[in-house]
Structure 1
Amino acid sequence: MFKKLSLVFFSVSVAIMMVLGSCKSKFEKLKAGNDNLKKYQEAIKLYNKKEYSKALELFDDLAPRYRGREAAEDLFYYYAYTNYKLKDFTSARYQFKNFAENYQSSPKAEECRFMAAYCFYLDSPNYTLDQENTTKAIEALQLFINLYPKSDRVAEASKLIQDLRDKLEDKAYANSKLYLTIQDYQSAVIAFGNTLRDYPDTKYAEELEFLTIKAQYLYAKNSSEARQEERFNQAISFADQFAEKYPASKYLKEAAALKKDSQQGITDVKTYYADIQKNAKYYRKLAKIDSTGNKTSLPSEKNNSQKIPN
């Protein structure tokens, strides 16, 4: 009895394996064969059944064989979309772009030009990463708009461009704030200005203009005495412009405090130089070489290790 059951189980297993094997071999046999029409028809069937990986295997094989033939237009259209469905946007945009350029008179050319740009959009990374693909996506979408200004897809392309520009804006905002974090105050002032210039309507404008005051104040504070008055005055100018532009800002109180500190900084540096001038003879005496050959440092030479020299 046990032997009979074992024999039945073995027979069923063999039968299942044969069925599975015949299914697999049928696809492999088709793939290895030279019947291009059958391959093409099967690739379309697999695509419509959403078996994109198998469809791609056949399209990969057919593409070089169909190039230049009349039926190639539809094949390359499906080929591009198969890569797209598999989320291989790099390959998809390449195929869409090639289609648009090789079949310019095709009714599908406009769609493929848009899809090539859209694949760039989908490949645009988080704003914290390198934004090369974001820039290329904007260029590709703008090219689409230029080529097809009356297309129904222009509104969507414009919206995608705005999304990408928002991402570049976020990148510029984060990068400019980073200079303040690492205490490179001069670069921070420049970066804030560049971001405001490049994105005049940025949602971060109020904050960036306030941070410009803060960065300029800290830049002046950490400068050598010879450059402080000029740099504090610039901070005061930024504060005045800010108060005029944003009279109800949540940063107004802090901006006023930075202005007051800048004014005090100018007073302090003027007092410092007035003191040196008043006691010029005394300091020259201290600076002379004594009998032991040592030189006494001037007060202006002390405590400046943390100052920005220029």
Structure 2
Amino acid sequence: MFKKQLLFVLSGALVLSVMLAGCKSSFEKLKASNDNNKKYQEAIKYYNKRDYSKALELFDDLAQRYRGQTAAEDLFYYYAYTNYKLKDYTSARYQFKNFADTYGGSPRAEECRFMAAYCFYLDSPVFSLDQDNTTKAIDALQLFINLYPKSDRVAEASKLIQNLRDKLETKAFENAKLYLTIGDYQSAVIAFGNALRDFPDTKYAEEMDFLTIKAQYMYAKNSQEIHQQERYEQAISFADQFTDKYTASKLLKDAASLKKDSQDGITNAKRVLAEALTDAKLARKLARKDSVSRATPPSEKGNENQKMP
């Protein structure tokens, strides 16, 4: 009885498998086929019909089989664009670069070199995220300009580079402002200075110069009295530079206010230090405050040899 049941189950499974095999779609049969020429022609048809997923499956299978053959140039050109159309820019840029490197003499090499760089551009994230792909995109686009200085695409490549630099500029500005927001004033001063050095024509220049005064003032205000005069004087210097540079700025009044507060801060620091000369209790308090072993704060780590602007 058990043998009959087992035979029945196996027979059913066999019939089912035969039925499923018979129901294979034409696409699945094509994928399993060894007719590379037909498979390639159908891949092109799928591509032209914008059925990029099916086209990619066929191009994936054909890539190894066509390597080194005359028809491989066309295949790898379509292969790169299929990945691009599917918005897989990582794969697309690899395929475009591979095409340009392999077929350097092809009329399509320039186009593929540009598209490889453009895929980096499309993979550049919003400014708040890591900008590794942004810098790589700039390098790739600049390489394209260097290789094809007379190309019609140079103007577009230059525009894309500027867009990417704008993103890096915004990130530098926002990072510097973040230091100010969290109260790491020394790092804020350094970060604003670095951003202005790296992006001298930045649209944020006026605001960054003003925030540098503010950050330096807050740095001095939160310092020990023995260090305050020097740090307030730096804030005053920044304020004077701002006034000379931006004669029509709406922030002139605020800059003047910070300068006045810095001058008052110097006066107060001198008074406290003078009182300490005759007030033993105050002197001991300042001495204890100044003698506390101080670990390098986050604002100074990695910046020990960097001068403040």
Give the equivalent residue in structure 2 for 1:4.
none
What is the DSSP-based 3-state SS (H/G/I as helix, E as strand, rest coil) of the residue aligned with 1:152?
A: coil
- Write the letter of the residue equivalent to 2:112: C
- RMSD over aligned CA atoms reads 2.1
Where do residues 106-255 of structure 1 align in structure 2 (5 Å cutoff)?
106-255=106-255
CA distance in 1, matches of 2:276, 2:134: 57
What is the DSSP-based 3-state SS (H/G/I as helix, E as strand, rest coil) of the residue aligned with 1:298?
A: helix
Give the equivalent residue in structure 1 for 2:48.
48
The structure whose Rg is larger is 1
What is the DSSP-based 3-state SS (H/G/I as helix, E as strand, rest coil) of the residue aligned with 1:269?
A: helix
What is the DSSP-based 3-state SS (H/G/I as helix, E as strand, rest coil) of the residue aligned with 2:120?
A: helix
TM-score by length of 1: 0.85
- Write the letter of the residue equivalent to 2:118: Y
Structure 1, residues 156-184: CA drift from partner, whole Å, max 9, x if none?
Answer: 00000000000000110110100001100
TM-score by length of 2: 0.85
> Would the aligned equivalents of 2:99 and 2:109 in 1 still touch at CA under 8 Å?
yes
Where do residues 296-307 of structure 1 align in structure 2 (5 Å cutoff)?
298-301=284-287
Where do residues 64-143 of structure 1 align in structure 2 (5 Å cutoff)?
64-143=64-143
> Would the aligned equivalents of 1:53 and 1:86 in 2 still touch at CA under 8 Å?
yes
CA distance in 2, matches of 1:159, 1:299: 60
Cα distance 1:247–1:190, how it changes in 2: closer, same or farther (>3 A)?
A: same
Paired residues, number = 275
CA distance in 2, matches of 1:227, 1:301: 13
CA distance in 1, matches of 2:40, 2:289: 81
Structure 1, residues 176-235: CA drift from partner, whole Å, max 9, x if none?
Answer: 100001100000000000000000000000000000000000101111111110000000
CA distance in 1, matches of 2:128, 2:46: 39
- Write the letter of the residue equivalent to 1:300: L
Percent of pairs identical after alignment? 75
Unaligned runs of 5+ in 2: 1-18, 297-309
List, as ranges, runs of 4+ consecutive aligned residues in structure 1 with deviation greater than 3 Å.
301-306
What is the DSSP-based 3-state SS (H/G/I as helix, E as strand, rest coil) of the residue aligned with 2:25?
A: helix
Unaligned runs of 5+ in 1: 1-17, 287-295
- Write the letter of the residue equivalent to 1:266: I
CA distance in 1, matches of 2:288, 2:249: 40
Give the equivalent residue in structure 2 for 1:63.
63
Structure 1, residues 125-171: CA drift from partner, whole Å, max 9, x if none?
Answer: 10011111101000000000000000000000000000000000011
> Would the aligned equivalents of 1:223 and 1:309 in 2 still touch at CA under 8 Å?
no
Give the equivalent residue in structure 2 for 1:5.
none
CA distance in 1, matches of 2:222, 2:291: 10
> Would the aligned equivalents of 2:169 and 2:199 in 1 still touch at CA under 8 Å?
yes
- Write the letter of the residue equivalent to 1:189: V
CA distance in 1, matches of 2:185, 2:231: 12
Structure 1, residues 220-257: CA drift from partner, whole Å, max 9, x if none?
Answer: 11111111100000000000010111122111111111
- Write the letter of the residue equivalent to 1:84: Y
Cα distance 1:158–1:86, how it changes in 2: closer, same or farther (>3 A)?
A: same
CA distance in 2, matches of 1:190, 1:128: 19
CA distance in 1, matches of 2:284, 2:108: 80
Shift of 1:299: 4.0
